[in-house]
Amino acid sequence: MRRLFGTNGIRGVVNKTLTPQFALKIAEAIGTFFNGKEILLGYDGRTSSPALAFAVASGLASTGCTVYLAGMAPTPTIQYAVKKHRFDGGVIITASHNPPEYNGIKVLGNDGVEISRRQEIEIEEIFFEEKQKRAEWNKIGEIRRLLGIIEEYIEAIKTHVNVEEIKKRSFRVVVDPGNGVGALAAPQLLRELGCKVFTINANIDGTFPSRPSEPKPENLSDLAAVVKAVNADFGVAYDGDADRAIFVDENGTIHWGDRTFALIEKEFLKQNPRETIVTPVSSSSLVKDIAEAYNGEVVWTKVGSVDVSHKMKEINAKLGGEENGGVFYGPHQPVRDGAMTTALILDILAKTGRKLSELLNELPKYFIEKNKVECPDELKEKVLEMLYEELKKENLKFDTTDGAKIWFTDSSILVRPSGTEPIFRLYAEAKTRERTLELIRQYKEKLSEILKRISR
Ligand code: MG
């Protein structure tokens, strides 16, 4: 059967693959799935978000669900509100960090976490088999407003950090929401934590005029320059819906997400030894090194934030993280949360009394190299099977959670079939650059040989 949900909800190009008409129809399927319950609905700052949200509201109400409109807000704010107000579920209109012509529909369960793959398939079945249950005229759901979720979210985050200690330090922080909805919560949170806040790109604009919405290091040179210019303690950039946070230290150096995550992990394990840390197999070995050094344990998942959230729920883990700047702080909520991540970093700076650059630079260092090998979708499974065979023959230690992650004493490589493109992705990591390049060369060659053998 055709799939509508990808790794992070339904995504498409507005008025091409994702029209208000489609949104209405999928919302009828979502409403049928929830069977007349109370659903919270919110959206990001994209140009198409209100139009799609009102179509979704109509679809949900027509099946008898009561819809609460939360308006425009960061994704983690809407997720938190679902849990806090005990809604039966939630829907968010967002395409996260995608280019401005995209949008998406994300469905949440009653704890604010994205529904499971199995539940997504149930909704798809209702959609494709036209099993939508439309309510009688007198059973159509109401559409109500819900105000104040951003304030409640900020208050909730503050309960997880030492507000007094942070306030004493009067940190100087530059915030770059990248014209996304991060502008609605993080600057306010930081002011309430006694910070002197400077903002750039903080006007919400669905065309993303200042920088691409994904907070990749190459998009953050303005932020780095402003951090230095105003002599800030650090800078932070969010993606379009503010669930991911990337940090710039006081020297203007931009750090990848797994380094800031490893810092949070280290301080967390110092306070909570023997806890389990959840992270995708694509994360740096740094996460494992820190866990080993500070008495924690790592559970690896498939690549994807929903997999991390569900694993955290399943094993009751309190901390998860991704290399792209997603940090999941379970005591608040087991989903990525940019503002919560920022508060955790402030808490660490206040507690240690040290600079962000010092704290990050003393973590173990790795060189990372990424690459890809083209492979038709229909051959991916066979190629992977044959790769497993070869690795067994070579007596190598490997993990099959998502593709093959091969561990060596000083390095590792992940060979993973892409879920969206006809390629295998390769992520090599080692203590020297030469070793990463060597691993990439070796495994590209191995995959090409396997492909040749199959097509013969
Ligand atoms: Mg996002």
List pLDDT tens digits, range 311-323. Answer: 999 999 999 999 9
Centre of ligand 1 from the C-alpha of residue 324, in Å: 10
With 0-12 / 13-18 / 19 or more C-beta atoms within 10 angstroms meaning exposed / middle / buried, residue 375 is buried
With 0-12 / 13-18 / 19 or more C-beta atoms within 10 angstroms meaning exposed / middle / buried, residue 184 is buried
Residues annotated catalytic, as ranges: 96
Centre of ligand 1 from the C-alpha of residue 63, in Å: 29
State pLDDT tens for residues 13-66: 999 999 999 999 999 999 999 998 999 999 999 999 999 999 999 999 999 999
Centre of ligand 1 from the C-alpha of residue 95, in Å: 7
CA-to-CA distance for 121 and 127, rounded, in angstroms?
Answer: 10
Cβ atoms of residues 356 and 349 within 8 Å: yes
Q: How far is CA 259 from CA 9, 49, 248, 365, in A?
A: 27, 33, 11, 9
Asked if 152-361 and 367-455 have one fold, the answer is no
**What are the residue boundaries of the structural domains of the chain, listed by start?**
10-147, 152-361, 367-455
Task: Tell me: pLDDT of 419 over 90.
Answer: no
> Whose CA is closest to 263, among 241, 247, 280, 252?
247
Task: Tell me: pLDDT of 69 over 70.
Answer: yes
pLDDT of residue 182: 98
Q: What is the pTM of this model?
A: 0.96
Domain spanning 152-361 has what CATH number? 3.40.120.10
> Whose CA is closest to 30, among 12, 1, 53, 7?
53
> Whose CA is closest to 428, among 340, 368, 385?
368
Task: Tell me: pLDDT of 437 over 90.
Answer: yes
The residue type found at 448 is S
Domain spanning 10-147 has what CATH number? 3.40.120.10
Centre of ligand 1 from the C-alpha of residue 434, in Å: 34
CA-to-CA distance for 180 and 437, rounded, in angstroms?
Answer: 36
Centre of ligand 1 from the C-alpha of residue 72, in Å: 14
According to CATH, the superfamily of the domain at 367-455 is Alpha-D-phosphohexomutase, C-terminal domain (3.30.310.50)
State pLDDT tens for residues 170-215: 999 999 999 999 999 999 999 999 999 999 999 999 999 999 999 9
Give mean pLDDT, residues 120-136: 97
Kindly list the strands in the beta sheet with 404-407, ordered across the sheet, starting from the edge strand earlier in the chain: 367-374, 423-430, 411-417, 404-407, 397-399
Centre of ligand 1 from the C-alpha of residue 91, in Å: 15
Residue the block writes with tokens 């006007």: 203
> β-strands 89-93, 38-43: how paired?
parallel
The residue type found at 13 is V
- The average confidence (pLDDT) of the chain is 96
Q: How many CB atoms lie within 10 A of CB 131?
A: 13
Task: Tell me: pLDDT of 146 over 80.
Answer: yes
Where residue 73 falls among pLDDT bands split at 50, 70, 90?
very high
Centre of ligand 1 from the C-alpha of residue 295, in Å: 31
pLDDT of residue 420: 77
Angle at 261 between CA 44 and CA 252, to 5 degrees: 80
Buried b (16+ CB within 10 A) or exposed e, 101-111: bbbbbbbbbbb
Centre of ligand 1 from the C-alpha of residue 441, in Å: 32
pLDDT of residue 148: 97
Buried b (16+ CB within 10 A) or exposed e, 269-298: beeeeebbbbbbbbbbbbbbbbbeebebeb
Where residue 1 falls among pLDDT bands split at 50, 70, 90?
low
